[in-house]
């Protein structure tokens, strides 16, 4: 599934990361000069449970030096002189993890943010999505699948899971990915992978997408649709016979469609009509997600819960809504027989399982009610 663990310096690993009871629940680690280490667990920052002493500049420098010694991608300062990014794999207990780090500076001195990723990539239903959703989204080998959500919502994990499912359904495929940075390392049997770090292996997202189409890919993974040009090229790649999986910061399904339309500058309504017709045939599905705090007892380590809505373009009524530009008014009648999952349905599942608090549920309910996004019931 992933490359062998790097030879991590035991001092660094033991001090900050090598806690088999804690590490599985940490999403991020923050080390800062003059402050004790902080961890993010269950969508909340808190002081590291077992490390209370403030870090010194000497300790921060040592941490960075050790991290660069085991960096699995090399010193990226050459590509980005104003920052330092690094990555490494390490085993905690018996579980292989991938750590990505970024160094910055503030008035207190050095700071390092480390993202903690399990090297193992789970199937889509193992993340909290329903069984059958992956198969529904991947029924065809061309088109586009978009995963939306804010920073830290788990988009990269969902995208990696979709890549895993694709490789299981279509062995013998070539997958080209463009990411900044490379997070999950794809290593599945019977498939070939070309993972590129934008800024290192290709200079821009636009160049990467253009070059990817020359490599005879079956799947193109675009880490982010950051710019209007990237959005246009992603749609173009999907329309040229490839399957594209990508992410965006849009937090509701309707906003994904709005972003795609806004990225195309049209001189008249005919151009909008043509694009809507194209999207009606190209869009395989859209997932919009966020991670929400889970109910837990004091001192209990838990993972946050996944809140989402998923639109599967598997019914004529849904395709018609896309073609007509009425995605903000999808209703139960349009979704009859679809494998889509509504925001309200997922909220009900979390409430019935007592997985979230009433206050969290109310916040999510208000977000749905106050938004003009897809009304899926």
**Contact in structure between 333 and 317 (CB atoms under 8 Å):** yes
Residue-by-residue DSSP string for 318-357: HHHHHHTT-GGG--HHHHTT---B-HHHHHHHHHHTT-S-
Q: Provide the 10 A C-beta neighbour count for residue 238.
A: 24
Beta bridge partners of 97: 90, 118
> Is the domain of 98 the same as that of 146?
no
What's the token pair of residue 341?
């999952």
Place of tokens 């290709």: 202
Structural domains of the chain, count: 2
> Is the domain of 254 the same as that of 339?
yes
**In terms of Cα–Cα distance, which of 338, 346, 300 is closest to 322?**
338
**Contact in structure between 46 and 39 (CB atoms under 8 Å):** yes
Q: Is 376 a residue whose pLDDT tops 60? A: no
Question: What are the distances in angstroms from CA 107 to CA 52, 57, 58, 63?
Answer: 21, 12, 16, 19
Residue-by-residue DSSP string for 5-31: PP---HHHIIIII--TTTGGGEEEEEE
> Is the domain of 102 the same as that of 158?
no
**Max Cα–Cα distance, the chain, nearest Å:** 64
In the prediction, which pLDDT does 168 show? 95
| Last-in-domain residue among 50, 84, 118 | 118
> Is the domain of 180 the same as that of 240?
yes
Q: Provide the 10 A C-beta neighbour count for residue 134.
A: 22
**Residue-wise pLDDT tens digits, 234-281:** 999 999 999 999 999 999 999 999 999 998 877 677 888 899 999 999
CATH number at residue 74: 3.30.450.90
106 three-state secondary structure:
strand
> Is the domain of 278 the same as that of 317?
yes
Confidence band of 34 (pLDDT split at 50, 70, 90): very high
- What is the spatial distance between Cα 189 and Cα 94, in angstroms, rounded to a whole number? 22
Averaged over 115-122, what is the pLDDT? 88
In the prediction, which pLDDT does 6 show? 44
**Contact in structure between 329 and 272 (CB atoms under 8 Å):** no
CATH number at residue 141: 3.40.50.300
Task: Tell me if 2 is assigned to some domain.
Answer: no
Residue-by-residue DSSP string for 150-190: -TTSSHHHHHHHHHHHHHHHSTT-EEEEEESS--SPP--TT
Q: Is 72 a residue whose pLDDT tops 70? A: no
- What is the spatial distance between Cα 364 and Cα 17, in angstroms, rounded to a whole number? 33
Confidence band of 8 (pLDDT split at 50, 70, 90): very low
245 three-state secondary structure:
strand
In the prediction, which pLDDT does 309 show? 93
What's the chain's Rg over C-alpha atoms? 21
In the prediction, which pLDDT does 375 show? 43
Confidence band of 142 (pLDDT split at 50, 70, 90): very high
Range with the largest mean pLDDT of 40-49, 80-89, 267-276: 40-49
> Is the domain of 67 the same as that of 87?
yes
| Last-in-domain residue among 102, 118, 134 | 118
In the prediction, which pLDDT does 73 show? 59
> Is the domain of 146 the same as that of 281?
yes
Task: Tell me if 162 is assigned to some domain.
Answer: yes
**Contact in structure between 334 and 318 (CB atoms under 8 Å):** yes
Beta bridge partners of 195: 177
Contact residues for 98 (Cβ-Cβ < 8 A; gap 6+): 2, 87, 88, 89, 117, 118, 119, 183, 184, 185
Q: List, in sequence order, every beta strand (DSSP E) within 62-200.
A: 84-92, 95-106, 109-118, 143-148, 174-179, 192-197
Q: List, in sequence order, every beta strand (DSSP E) within 107-228.
A: 109-118, 143-148, 174-179, 192-197, 219-222
For 254, list phi and psi in degrees, rounded to 5: -65, -35
In the prediction, which pLDDT does 266 show? 72
């Amino acid at each position: 599934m992933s490359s062998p663990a790097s030879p991590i310096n035991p001092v660094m690993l033991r001090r900050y990361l090598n806690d088999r009871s804690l590490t599985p629940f940490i999403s991020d680690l923050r080390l800062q000069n003059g402050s004790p280490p902080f961890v993010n667990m269950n969508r909340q920052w808190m002081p590291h449970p077992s490390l209370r002493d403030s870090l010194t500049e000497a300790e921060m420098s040592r941490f960075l030096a050790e991290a660069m010694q085991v960096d699995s991608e090399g010193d990226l300062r050459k590509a980005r002189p104003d920052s330092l990014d690094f990555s490494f794999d390490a085993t905690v207990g018996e579980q292989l993890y991938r750590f990505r780090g970024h160094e910055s500076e503030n008035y207190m001195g050095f700071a390092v943010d480390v993202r903690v990723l399990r090297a193992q990539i789970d199937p889509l239903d193992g993340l909290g999505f329903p069984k059958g959703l992956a198969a529904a989204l991947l029924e065809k080998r061309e088109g586009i699948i978009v995963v939306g959500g804010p920073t830290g919502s788990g988009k990269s994990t969902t995208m990696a899971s979709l890549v895993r499912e694709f490789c299981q359904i279509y062995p013998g495929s070539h997958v080209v990915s463009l990411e900044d940075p490379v997070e999950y390392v794809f290593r599945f049997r019977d498939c070939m992978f070309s993972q590129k770090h934008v800024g290192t292996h290709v200079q821009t997202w636009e160049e990467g997408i253009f070059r990817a189409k020359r490599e005879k890919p079956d799947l193109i993974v675009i880490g982010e649709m950051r710019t209007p040009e990237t959005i246009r090229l992603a749609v173009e790649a999907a329309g040229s016979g490839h399957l594209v999986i990508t992410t965006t910061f849009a937090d509701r399904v309707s906003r994904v469609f709005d972003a795609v339309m806004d990225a195309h500058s049209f001189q008249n309504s005919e151009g909008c009509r043509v694009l809507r017709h194209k999207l009606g045939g190209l869009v395989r599905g859209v997932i919009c997600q966020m991670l929400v705090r889970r109910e837990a007892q004091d001192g209990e380590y838990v993972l946050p819960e996944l809140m989402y809505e998923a639109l599967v373009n598997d019914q004529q009524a849904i395709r018609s809504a896309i073609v007509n530009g009425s995605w903000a008014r999808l209703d139960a009648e349009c979704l009859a027989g679809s494998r889509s999952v509504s925001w309200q349905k997922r909220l009900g599942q979390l409430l019935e399982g007592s997985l979230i608090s009433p206050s969290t549920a109310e916040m999510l309910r208000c977000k749905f009610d106050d938004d003009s996004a897809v009304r899926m019931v």
